[in-house]
Structure 1
Amino acid sequence: MQQFRDVVDECGFLDLGFVGTCFTWSKDFDDGHSISKRLDRGLANNPWFMKFPGSFVHHLHCISSDNCPLLISLSRLDPPPCQRSFKFEEMWLSDERCVETVEASWSSHSHGPGDSQILKQIEKCGKDLAWWNHNVFGNVRKELERKKSLLVQAEQAAIVNGQNQRVRELKDEVNLLLVREARLWSQRSQVHPQEIALSLVNYYQSLFSTSNPDCVSLDHVPMVITDEMNIALTESFLQSEIREALKQMAPLKALGLDGMPPLFYQHFWGVVDSDVMSSILSWLNSDEETRQWNHEVIDGIFTQEEADLIKQLPLARMVSEDSLFWPFSWNGIYNSKSGYLFLKAEEDHGGTEANVEQEKAL
C-alpha cells in the first residue's frame, strides 16, 4: 500500500474527494453485521483541476453489487425539470386499484350526444389516473429516490450499531421499484416521430422511383380492384372489424394526444367498449356532409381575399369547443415571459422601422 501511495505522490495526483456515502464497498451478512470500506477513489493532477475546477466524485448506490459505482461530474449544475404530459403507464396494471379507478371514472361521466363527449370522457379518465398515480400508486421515480435516501441512512446506522436488517428490507423495496422503473422506461423508449416520418418518406420515394420515368404509363398498370371488391370495401364498418383491428395493434404503439395507448383500450375494453364502439362507428359510417363555414359571418369580419382563403379550409365533422390559443408560446398558453418577449420584439421591430425612416429622410 505504501508503494501505491509513493506512486501517487510522484505523479502529482490529488484526491478529488467525494460526495455521498463514505465507503465504496460493503458486505451485509445474514447474521446482521456488515463490513464497509472505501476501496475506490478519483485522482487527478493539477492541470486537470485547472481545466475542470467544478468537478466532483459522486458515490452512487448499487443494489445489485457490493461495489458502488463512481460518477465524476464536471459541473454541479442540475438540468432544469420539465413538465411531462399525461401518459398511461403499463406498470399501473400491476395494481388492482388501477382497474377500480378506471371503472369509477368511466361510470361517473355520462356519455351524452355529440362526438366530443367521448373525448371528454377519456380526458377525465386520464386526469383521474394521474391523480391516482400521484396520491395512491406513487410516482416511481420519486418513491425510488426516497427509498434510496432511506437506504443511505440505514447503511450509516448499520455501520454504527452493526445491525443490517433494515438495510436488507430497503434493498428489497428498491429492487421492486427498479423493476417498475424498467417497465416505465421500456414503454417510453419509442422511436421519435421524425424518424418515423423520414422512414415513410424514404420508403415511398424508393417505391415510386424509376430509372426510366419516360416509359411509365398508367395504361400498362393492370386493374386489381374489381367491382365486387370495391363494393365490399365501401360497405359500412362492423363492430367485429373494430375489435379485430384493436387486437392487432401493438399495445404500446400509436400513442394518441390523450396519452392513451392501445393497451388501455385492450385491457379495459369491457369497461369502455360500448361508448368507444358507438363513437368510432359514428365517425366511420356517418354520411353527413362536412360542416361548412358561416359565409355571412366570415364575409362580414374579414376582407374578401381573407374570407375566400378561410372558406377554403375544410371543417371536421366532430364539433369541439372553442379555445384560446396564444401563438407566441410552445404550448399555446399565455404567460408573462412570452408576453414580455412579444412586446420586446414589437418594440425592437418598430424602433428599427423608425430608424430606417429617419435615415431615408436624411
Structure 2
Amino acid sequence: MKLICWNVRGLGMPRTVRRLQHMLRDINSSVVFLIETKLRSAQIAQIRRRCGFINGIDVDAVGRSGGLSIGWRNNCDVSLRSYSQRHIDVLINDDADGKQWRCTRFYGAHEEQHRAAAWNLLRQINDTPETPWLIIGDFNEIAFLNEKQGGLTRSDRQMREFRRVLSDCEVEDIGYKGRWYTWEKGRFESNNIRERLDRGVANSPWLNLFPRYVLNHLSHSFSDHCPLLLNTQDGEHSNKTWHFRFKATWLLEDSCEPEVQKLWATSVGSTPEKLRQVGVGLENWFWKLKMARKVTVKGLKEQLTQLCEQNPIDDILAEITDVKLNLNFEMEKEELYWEQRSRVNWLRNGDKNTTFFHRFASQQQKKNKVESLIDENGDSIDTNESLLNLATRYFTDLFHSDGVSSPAPILEGVEPCITNSMNENLDREFTKDEVLKALKVMSPLKASGEDGLGAVFYQRF
C-alpha cells in the first residue's frame, strides 16, 4: 500500500490543486492525508474527489488555519475511530495483503502554548497497544537539535516533551529516505531555516507487520513542507496500450514545427498518404519526446533533491528557485495533455479549476473499453475472442439485407423536400476556401479523424 501525507499549506489556489493532482496521479497512492487545507470540509471534499479519492473524511479549517482530510480508494477498507482539529484516527483493512492496522494522521500545534494539549491528545488515543499503530503527519516539533538548521535554537524543554510523548505512546521514529528536512523557510542564506517537522512513528506490532516499509521525503515545487510517501509493500504495475494521436502539448515544443515541416517535405504520394507518413513520423518523434520528458522531470526532481541537501547559500537557493520554475513548466505541459484527453474546452483561457476535469479525462479510456457483452442466449461473455466473434456476428446481421423487389411502396409516403437547386449545391465539389473555413471554426481539441491529426494540427500548420 502507498500512503501520501502532506502539509499542503492551503488548497485555495487552482495552481496548487493542479500540482496536487499531478503528484497523486504520478504516485497512484491508495490513501492520501492532507494537512492545513485551510478550507471548509465541503470544499476539500470536492478537491479530494477530483483527485480520485471518492471515499474520505474531512475536517473543517478554523478561520484561515488548519483543516484535515483523508481520502482512500475502493481497494481499501477504512473505518473511522475518532477525529478532531488535530487528528484523524482510522483502522485500515488492506484488501491487497489482508492486513489490519491503525493509522493516525496528526497535526501538531504550531503555538508553544498549545503543544501540551496536542501531546495529551496522543496519550488519550493510545488505547490499543496490541494493535499495529502508525502515527504520521506534521508534528510541528523536532526531537533533537540536529533536526534543525538556521534560525533560533530550539528549547531543550520542547524537544524533551516531544520525545516523552513518543515514549509514553510506545512508538519510535521509523526513519526516512531522501533529504533530511521536511520544512524550509527563507530564500536567502541569511534567513534560511530547515527543520524536520514531518515524520512517521510506529509501535513494535506495526514494525513487525511491515518489515520492508519505506518512508520517502519527496521533492516538490510548492508548499514549504515536503510530502511523505509511505510504501508498505511492492506495488504492481500494468502496461497500457498507446495509440497515435497528435497532442496539443507538442505545440509547446520548439522542435514540433520543424519536425512537421521535415516530415511533410520528405513524404511522397497523395495528400492522404503524405498525412499518414507525417503521422507515423510524429508517432516516433512522440516516443522520443515522451522518454525525454520523463528523463527531464526525473532529472529536475533529482536535481531539486540534491540542491535541497546542500548548504543553503544564496547561489544554491537561487538555483532551487530556478529548478522549481522549470519543474512547474514541465507540469504545465502535462496538464495540457490531460485537457486534450478530456475532449472538452473547460480549461480554455486559463480557467483550469473544474470539478470533473480529471474524472472525465481518466474515464475516457474506460468508456472506450468493452468489458463484457450479453449474447443471443442471454449469457455474459468476457473473453477477447468471444467478444470479437459476437460483435462481428451482430453487425454482420445488422447490416445484412435479404433484398426487396421494389422500394416504390415504401417511398410513396415520403414527400420530396430537396429541390433541384439544393441538389446541385449539395453535389458541388468542395472548394479550398470552404474546407479552410470549416477547419478554422472547429474546436481544436475535439476528437481527431482516422489520421489522428485533429483540427489543432491543421489550424496551426
TM-score, reference length from structure 2: 0.45
CA distance in 1, matches of 2:278, 2:247: 15
Question: Which residue pairs with 2:364 in the alignment?
Answer: 192
CA contact (8 A) 2:188 2:312 kept: no
Please list every run of 5 or more consecutive structure 2 residues that lacks an aligned counterpart in the other structure. Answer: 1-157, 343-360, 371-409
CA displacement 1:161-186 (0-9 Å, x = unmatched): 99423222222222222222222333
Question: Which residue pairs with 1:261 in the alignment?
Answer: 454
Question: Which residue pairs with 2:301 in the alignment?
Answer: 148
Structure 1 or 2: more helix by fraction: 1
CA displacement 1:280-320 (0-9 Å, x = unmatched): xxxxxxxxxxxxxxxxxxxxxxxxxxxxxxxxxxxxxxxxx
CA distance in 1, matches of 2:168, 2:314: 40
Superposition pairs for residues 1-362 of structure 1, below 5 Å? 1=158, 2-31=160-189, 34-77=192-235, 79=237, 84-110=242-268, 112-113=269-270, 117-127=273-283, 129-130=285-286, 133=289, 139-159=292-312, 163-189=316-342, 190=361, 192=364, 195=367, 223=415, 225-228=417-420, 229=422, 232-256=425-449, 258-268=451-461
Q: Following TM superposition, by how much is the alpha carbon of 1:160 offset from its aligned partner in structure 2, in angstroms?
A: 8.5
In structure 2, relative to structure 1, the CA distance for the partners of 1:225 and 1:142 (3 Å cut) is farther
Structure 1 or 2: more strand by fraction: 2
SS in 2 for 1:139: helix
CA distance in 2, matches of 1:227, 1:196: 41
SS in 2 for 1:158: coil
CA contact (8 A) 2:279 2:451 kept: yes
Give the counterpart letter for 1:8 in structure 2. L
CA displacement 1:329-352 (0-9 Å, x = unmatched): xxxxxxxxxxxxxxxxxxxxxxxx
CA contact (8 A) 2:247 2:340 kept: yes
CA distance in 1, matches of 2:184, 2:225: 7
**Percent of aligned positions that are identical:** 29
CA distance in 1, matches of 2:369, 2:237: 29
CA distance in 2, matches of 1:133, 1:223: 57
In structure 2, relative to structure 1, the CA distance for the partners of 1:57 and 1:31 (3 Å cut) is closer
CA distance in 1, matches of 2:186, 2:221: 12
SS in 2 for 1:226: coil
SS in 2 for 1:9: helix
CA RMSD of aligned residues (A): 3.7
Give the counterpart letter for 2:274 in structure 1. I
CA distance in 1, matches of 2:228, 2:302: 17
In structure 2, relative to structure 1, the CA distance for the partners of 1:16 and 1:259 (3 Å cut) is farther
Larger radius of gyration: 1
In structure 2, relative to structure 1, the CA distance for the partners of 1:10 and 1:27 (3 Å cut) is same
CA distance in 2, matches of 1:109, 1:222: 49
Please list every run of 5 or more consecutive structure 1 residues that lacks an aligned counterpart in the other structure. Answer: 199-217, 269-362
Higher relative contact order (CA 8 A, sep 6+): 1
CA contact (8 A) 2:178 2:217 kept: yes
Q: Following TM superposition, by how much is the alpha carbon of 1:24 offset from its aligned partner in structure 2, in angstroms?
A: 0.5
CA displacement 1:61-102 (0-9 Å, x = unmatched): 221111111122222346366574444332332344321221
CA distance in 1, matches of 2:222, 2:175: 25
CA distance in 2, matches of 1:264, 1:90: 8
